[in-house]
Amino acid sequence: MSYPLRSSQVRVVVVVSTQVGVAMVVSTSYHVERVVAVVVERVVVVVVVVVVVVVVVVVMVWWWWWWW
């Protein structure tokens, strides 16, 4: 035999499922933030290295061209 759910039981189920959903979203967004932070950090490092290499090469070529 099945008993109809009372409104208080329905409310408890909704609150618990909402809290579980919020906890999952928070943990997922935290994970995504960490992944994005790591990716951005690596991209920044790569960009800085590339810029430094390009500047050094340009300066060396300019120096060589200017003095020869």
pLDDT beneath 50, residues of the chain: 1
- pTM assigned to the model: 0.51
Residues 55-67 pLDDT 10s:
999 999 999 988 8
Cα 37 from Cα 54, distance rounded (Å) = 26
CA distance 65 to 59: 10
